[in-house]
Amino acid sequence: MLSIIWMVYRIQTLVSVVKGSDKKLASGSNRINAILFVVFLVGTGILMFWYSIKEFDNYQLPIASEHGVVTDRLFWITMAITGIVFILTHILLFIFPYKYQYKETRKASFYPDNNKLEIIWTIVPAIVLALLVVSGWKAWSDITAPAPENAHVVEIMGSQFNWDIRYPGKDQVLGDYDYRLITATNAQGIDFTDKNAIDDFSSPVVVIPKGEPVLFKIRARDVLHSVFAPHMRLKMDAVPGMPTRFWFVPTKTTAEMREELNDPEFEYEIACTEICGRGHFSMRRVIEVVEPEAYQKWYSEQQSFIQQNPALADDLPAEAKALAEIQLREK
Amino acid sequence: MSTASVANHDAAHDHHDHEHHDNFVTKYIFSQDHKMIAKQYLVTGMFWALLGGGLSILFRLQLGFPEMDMSFLRPLLGGWIDEGGKLDPTFYLALVTMHGTIMVFFVLTAGLSGTFSNFLIPLQIGARDMASGFMNMLSYWLFFLSGVIMFISLFLKTGPAGGGWVVYPPLSALEQAIPGSGLGMTLWLVAMTFFIASSLLGGINYITTVINLRTKGMSFSRLPLTIWAFFLTAVIGLLSFPVLFSAALLLVFDRSFGTSFYLSDIYINGEALPNTGGSPVLYQHLFWFLGHPEVYIVLLPALGITSEVIATNSRKPIFGYKAMIISLLGITVLSFVVWAHHMFVSGMNPFLGSIFMFLTLIIAIPSAVKVFNYLTTLWRGNLIFTPAMLFSIGLVSFFISGGLTGIFLGNSAIDIQLHDTYFVVAHFHLVMGSASFFGMIAGIYHWFPKMFGRMMDARLGYVHFWITFVGVYMVFFPMHYIGIAGFPRRYYSFTSFDFANMYTDLNMFVSVAAIITFFAQFIFLFNFFYSMYRGRKATQNPWRSNTLEWTTPVEPGHGNWPGEIPSVYRWPYDYSKPGAEEDFIPQTVPLSATPESNLPHEQEMVKTELEIMKEEEEVLVANGAKH
């Protein structure tokens, strides 16, 4: 096989030397290359439109948060603007080679500069970009503004290779934590001497109410992680030693989304998007969005860390222990 | 190398005398000739490109064919393939890390800048060699040493560094977190230290040479855009690489001497570490202060090469020469104030995010200007599609495609969703990876005749171009869809998540395209090495180009020009000038010799030019008399 290619190659070269085409500035290949650019333009253009339309529902994930609607709108506005530029510039880039391919009889135009043109194509992109910046900036400052007072707080702690979830309990205040308190039974290092921690509880699933603001308080136990909830359009790094946060308003319950997608198995998910080691690709948690009433009911039924594992209260100072015991009696 | 040319040099360059006695070692190994050093960089860069590309094929196999039995790779990868024939997930991360490190630093920084800055700066500005040949040699050998150390790290039992090419701590600081952060990471840091030293030595040399060693008449406003690009690239490198060094140094302290620059509140492996008060975000700031300019360090030389190739093969002056320089300057300055757009969701203050979004989108303007200028250069040209020209047009296409997606990612609100997904992978592989790679290949095709005195085969070049151009788009364009769908990067497999449990077909398609594209590069390699010995003999100026390197002998010796260094009388882009007989006027042709084609303002300069020439003549005669 290789030797055949080799033979063809040698013969080709010899033929071109004999024909003297290697002496010419632009041989017949010049025309072929020019045509190929047009073929490429048309071919890939069709491919792009066909695939983009056909697959739209696959790659466009349904949106399940309020700010997600805003960022997605920005995304598609940017797509429209850049799409037009992309197509126009590529039409020019691939048509010019065809139109202006080398001809011995023609001379290229000597056209070294045109300040008016330069100014136009500096200012026009500047204006368009300014509009994009302003709209992006507005969305960004809304999204990153402090969470409303009434936001439901959920703490998410990343570790290799797991997310630990903590709710503040009935007092709505998360207790303190300290990484030096972490043990096999207290994976999050919760400081139970803080009375706010006594009623904190954990959950295997992130349950949040629809239509109400939710604040994720995010931290990491070992290395960087990043909380990514694709349907919520939410992403924030989890940084050891520096708590971060992200608040949002979910707009569709899991049940509603299942119905909309006609997929009874559907779940909202959290993934990790900051490389964190061997199990980086499998840090999964499920988010369950429920109606506010169902949320309240679920919330009040949860058992606190202490209730689930009374041993946690064993070494506490007297005051905290008394609180813990009240908790245990409520069980 | 012809010794005759060296023997003829003028009195001002006596220091080259010792070069008469070139032996194998001083000629090919510890050479101080910029052309040989450039070739050393080129061949080393090609080695690393093959290796870095090869690594990507390994992880593309995993991503495209997750069910595949990879036992056949065991002779190569040994224990990294488990009993079931599966690739080890830790080694997968090491593969992506080394692919990134190798491609960004060894191929597109050293391989590109090292080759073409070294080769073209003295030749195009009219200098005998670099300002310091010794430093230049040192620069290459430090790079070589850096490469050897990085190469050794591939064979460690615990594997090479595996924390991504950005090596964010704490992952990269803690051996407990990932085995690659042990000895592998140590070697990574040592290798990068040598690499930074090499870059700085090279950069200082490029800057000094461009500022001080330009030939008579070669003012900054007559420099080819290649030189402008190499010059500004060196400036960027000189200002940003030391910051990477400081980032690496603090990481070394954290890893080995118990400091807490980046480490705080860490509990790992059943143990709470004593470090408190450090900030991983500090590392990210320091890293990206180099990391972002680095994008332009790899891109600007490619843009410079393309400007030259497109102008020459359009037989037209580059449109907006001044605007091109201003945009290069703009990009250079702005490249230092956009770094934190890599960190919108790192937990840094969101207000900082707003500032960096604003600055980031500004940098799109000079980039847009460059694209429009390229397009206008093609317009009404007389285009000759040499392989170099094809690759340059390909570069412009990638620069547009990848540049436009940068507008999404630079917008912090949109970046929330897209950050660290395949959209980013698609973006930077097009705009910085493939575009720079195409610039490098274009440069090789274009200047091969100057390097080796022979021509590369054009037909093989066409085949190489079309497979690679289509291939690159087939690899990276689909990644946009995968990215919009939210697929995170650096994932070993996508089966753990419902939202990402699709597009196996598309991933397979990407992998097949990657494999085809990779193997198409062997066409180029064959062409390169075959043509080096058996290619057609080159003529002195095969592309009918204006720049100075084509006034040297076909195979220039050490010292480049056998006699006087030519003087320069015009800018490098007098192609198809109305009135001129040929469609190009080399920079060495005085305006006074072309009254038929001079523009009105040039005609006015003729008188001064004649006066200067007369004075110079007198000085030369006087010098000759002294000897």
Neighbour-count burial for B323-343, b at 16+ CB within 10 Å, e otherwise: bbbebbebbbebbbbbbbbbb
Residues in B touching A132 (Cβ below 8 Å): 361, 407, 411
Best interface-test mutation with A: which of B456, B484, B503 has the largest number of A CBs within 10 A?
A: B484
| Contact A271/B at CB under 8 A | yes
> Is A17 domain-assigned?
no
Q: Is the peptide bond before B170 cis (omega within 30 degrees of 0)?
A: yes
Binary contact (A30, B168; C-beta < 8 A): no
Q: Yes or no: say if B413 and B446 are a contact pair by the CB < 8 Å rule.
A: no
Is residue A14 domain-resident? no
Structural domain for A91, as ranges = 26-102
Backbone φ/ψ region at A102: left (φ over 0), alpha (ψ -120 to 50), beta: beta
pLDDT for B4 equals 39
How many Cα atoms sit within 13 Å of A174 on the Cβ side? Answer: 21
Residues 21-80 of B with CB under 8 A from A: none
If asked whether residues A200 and A311 sit together in one domain, one would say yes
φ, ψ of residue A245 to 5 degrees: the values are: -150, 160
Instruction: Report yes or no: A1 at the B interface, CB cutoff 8 Å.
Output: no
Q: Are residues A80 and A196 in the same domain?
A: no
Task: From residue B167, give the alpha-carbon distance in Å to each of A126, B152, B163.
Answer: 35, 18, 5
Residue corresponding to tokens 């429209």: A80
Say which residue the tokens 């964010």 belong to: B168
- Contact (CB, 8 A) for B488 and A271: yes
DSSP string, B75-117: HHHGGGB-TTSPBPHHHHHHHHHHHHHIIIIIIIIIIIIIHHH
How far away is chain B from the Cα of A260, in angstroms, using its nearest Cα?
15
Strands (E), B576-616: none
Of A39, A68, A102, the domain-final residue: A102
Q: Report which of A40, A111, A37 is spatially closest to residue B379, judged by C-alpha positions.
A: A111
| Cα B11 from Cα B7, distance rounded (Å) | 11
Please list every residue in chain B whose beta carbon sits closer than 8 Å to the beta carbon of residue A282: 496
Cα B280–chain centre separation: 29
Chain A CB contacts of B345 under 8 Å are 226, 235-237
A91 and A163 housed in the same domain? no
Per-residue model confidence (pLDDT) at position B516: 97
pLDDT of residue A317: 86
First to last CA, chain B: 27
In sequence order, what are the residues at sequence separation of 6 or more whose Cβ sits closer than 8 angstroms to the Cβ of residue B617?
none
Are the beta carbons of A125 and B365 separated by less than 8 Å?
yes
Interface residue A86 vs chain B (CB under 8 A): yes
Q: Which two tokens stand for residue B445?
A: 């095709």
Question: What pLDDT band is residue B512 in, cutting at 50, 70 and 90?
Answer: very high
Are B365 and A90 in contact (CB < 8 Å)? no
Q: Band of the pLDDT at B626, cuts 50, 70, 90?
A: low
What does pTM read for this prediction?
0.93
> What pLDDT, on the 0 to 100 scale, is given for residue B7?
38
CB < 8 Å from A in window 556-595 of B: 573, 575-578, 583
Give the C-alpha separation, A17 to A13, whole Å: 6
Residue with tokens 């990391």: B291
Nearest-angstrom CA–CA distance, B34 and B115: 9
Same domain? A196 vs A285:
yes
Domain with residue A232: its CATH number is: 2.60.40.420
The string of DSSP codes covering A152-191 is: EEEEEEEETTEEEEEE-TTTT-PPPB-GGG--SS-TT-B-
**Low-confidence winner among A218-227, B1-10, B43-52, B507-516 (lowest mean pLDDT):** B1-10
Are A160 and B473 an interchain contact pair (Cβ–Cβ within 8 Å)? no
Residue A54: inside a domain: yes
A-chain residue closest to B399, CA distance: A86
The token pair that represents A132 in the structure block: 């994009």
**B497 Cα to chain A: minimum distance (Å):** 7
DSSP secondary structure of B217-243: T--GGGS-HHHHHHHHHHHHHHHHHHH
- Report yes or no on A273 lying in a domain: yes
Q: Which of A108, A133, A230 sits opposite B381 (nearest CB)?
A: A108
pLDDT band at B627 (very low <50, low <70, confident <90, very high): low
> CB–CB of A140 and B353 under 8 A?
yes
DSSP label at A238? E
CB-hemisphere CA count at 13 Å for B337? 12
pLDDT in tens, A87-114: 999 999 999 999 999 988 888 899 988 9
Residues A79 and A228 in one domain: no
| Contact residues, chain B, for A239 at CB < 8 Å | 279-281, 346-347
| Residue B378: its H or E element | helix B364-378
CA A140 and chain centroid, separation: 15
In the chain, the amino acid numbered B96 is V
Res. B27 pLDDT band, cuts 50 70 90: confident
Closest chain B C-alpha to A244 CA, distance in angstroms: 6
Chain B nearest CA to A330, separation (Å): 33
**Residue (of A226, A153, A222, A154) closest to A182 by Cα position:** A222
Same-domain pairing of A83 and A230: no
Between strands A206-209 and A285-290, the pairing is parallel
Domain check: are A190 and A292 in the same one? yes
User: To which H or E segment does residue A216 belong?
Assistant: strand A214-220
pLDDT, tens digit, 9 for 90 and up, residues A140-168: 999 999 999 999 999 999 999 999 999 99
- Looking at the fold, whether A284 and A209 belong to one and the same domain comes out as yes
- Say which of A71, A118, A122 has its CB closest to residue B414: A71
Q: In terms of domains, do A166 and A251 share one?
A: yes
Judged by a CB distance cut-off of 8 A, whether residue B497 touches chain A is yes
Task: State the best of A118, A191, A236, A283 to mutate against chain B, taking most chain B CBs within 10 Å.
Answer: A118
- Say whether both A179 and A320 belong to one domain: yes
A287 and A201 within one domain: yes
CB-nearest partner of A85 from B404, B485, B496? B404
The pLDDT of residue A324 is 83
Which pLDDT value is given to residue B3? 38
Distance from CA of A33 to the nearest CA of B (A): 7
Q: How far apart are alpha carbons B598 and B585 in whole angstroms?
A: 11
pLDDT band at B6 (very low <50, low <70, confident <90, very high): very low
Considering only the beta carbons, identify the residue of B267, B407, B493 that sits closest to A132.
Answer: B407
For B525-543, letters b (16+ CB in 10 Å) and e give eebbeebeeebbebeebbb
Query: Could you tell me what percentage of chain A is helix, strand and coil, using 3-state DSSP and rounding each to the nearest 5?
Result: 50, 20, 30
Residue B221 near residue A112 (C-beta atoms within 8 A): no
| Amino acid symbol at A301 | E
Is residue A183 assigned to a domain? yes
> Which of the two residues, B318 and B613, has the higher pLDDT score?
B318
Q: Which amino acid is at A143?
A: I
Contact A13 B457 (CB under 8 A): yes
| Domain total in chain A | 2
CA A160/CA A280 separation, integer angstroms: 8
On whether residue A11 sits in a domain, the answer given is no
Domain end point (choices A78, A102, A126)? A102
Counted across chains A and B, CB pairs separated by less than 8 A come out at: 343
CB contact (8 A) between residue B383 and residue A34: yes
Alpha-carbon distance B122 to A273, whole Å?
46
For A301, other C-beta atoms within 10 Å of its C-beta total 8
Residue from B417, B427, B409, B524 nearest B466 by CA: B524
Q: What is the largest CA-CA distance in chain B?
A: 86
Pull the structure tokens for residue A7.
């033979």
Could you report the per-residue pLDDT of B540-595, keeping only the tens digit for each?
999 999 999 999 999 998 889 998 899 999 999 999 999 888 889 999 999 999 98
Instruction: Using 70 as the pLDDT threshold, list the residues of chain A that sit under it.
Output: 1-2, 16-26, 331
- pLDDT for A21 equals 56
Residue B300 identity (one-letter amino acid): L
Q: Please tell me whether the interface predicted TM-score (ipTM) of this complex is above 0.90.
A: yes
Inter-chain residue contact B266 with A37, CB threshold 8 Å: no
Angle between helices B387-409 and B458-484 (to 10 degrees): 10
Beta-strand runs (E) in B398-549: none
CA angle in degrees (0–180, nearest 5) for B3-B207-B360: 140
Q: Is residue A118 situated within a structural domain?
A: no
Q: Is A269 on the interface with B (CB under 8 A)?
A: yes
Q: How far apart are CA A169 and CA A192, in angstroms?
A: 13
Contact A136 B473 (CB under 8 A): no
Report residue B264: phi and psi, to 5°.
Answer: -160, 140
Cross-chain Cβ contact A132/B411 below 8 Å = yes
**A2 part of a folded domain:** no
Question: Are the Cβ atoms of A78 and B411 closer than 8 angstroms?
Answer: yes
Residue A296 and residue A234 in one domain: yes
Contact A224 B168 (CB under 8 A): yes
Which residues are CB-neighbours of B341 under 8 A, at least 6 positions away? B292, B356, B357, B359, B360, B409, B410, B412, B415
Shortest distance between the Cα of B267 and any Cα of chain A, in A, equals 5
Report yes or no: A23 at the B interface, CB cutoff 8 Å: no
Q: Which helix (H) or strand (E) holds A229?
A: strand A225-229
Query: How far is residue A102 CA from its own chain's centroid?
Result: 47
B347 vs A136: CB contact, 8 Å cut-off? no
User: Looking up tokens 């100026």, which residue turns up?
Assistant: B541
Domains of chain B: 3-534 (1.20.210.10), 571-626 (no CATH)
B209-246 pLDDT, tens digit each: 999 999 999 999 999 999 999 999 999 999 999 999 99
